[in-house]
Amino acid sequence: MEAKTRVESVLKELGLKHQSAGEEDGVHRFQITVDEADNIGVEGLLYDAEEGVFFRLLAYVDELHEGKELEQMGLLLALNMDIPTGAYCLDDEEGVLLVTVNIPVNDLNPGIVSWVLEFLLVAQQVYFDEYYGPEEGEFAEG
């Protein structure tokens, strides 16, 4: 089964709305709606690497705040040491912080994708609580 077809099949099986956002430089992009009511979505990237074909899920965490970049990057490094999988990262072109997990396409199934999506949402909340404090309420948008 072609990798793109496999990704689309798993997303459909999970009942997730998604749109193909095109392909550029061998990377196929997907926009995936996790919760339409709360406007929560993630981006999926399907790509080839030396180690195989991967589906990377990325979720928005926060904007990079002017004058606070070192504080935010320090927090990302500290949190990266504590998470069991995935990574917090910086998209310096967009000036945003993301959390990401790679899934080998050979391992792609509804269970793992569902777990990764839950992980991404929890990781967003962990960053939000650590950076802003739990008194600021729950993470609102992605």
The tens place of each residue's pLDDT in the chain, 142 residues long, gives: 599 999 999 999 999 999 998 899 999 999 999 999 989 999 999 999 999 999 999 999 999 999 999 999 999 989 988 877 778 999 989 999 999 999 999 999 999 999 999 999 999 999 999 999 876 655 544 4
Q: How far is CA 94 from the centre of its chain?
A: 15
Distance CA 28, CA 38 (A): 26
- Report whether CATH 1.10.3720.10 matches the domain 3-133: no
- The model's pTM: 0.87
Q: What are the backbone dihedrals phi and psi of residue 78, each rounded to the nearest 5 degrees, phi first?
A: -65, -45
- Angle formed at CA 114 by CA 56 and CA 64, multiple of 5 degrees: 50
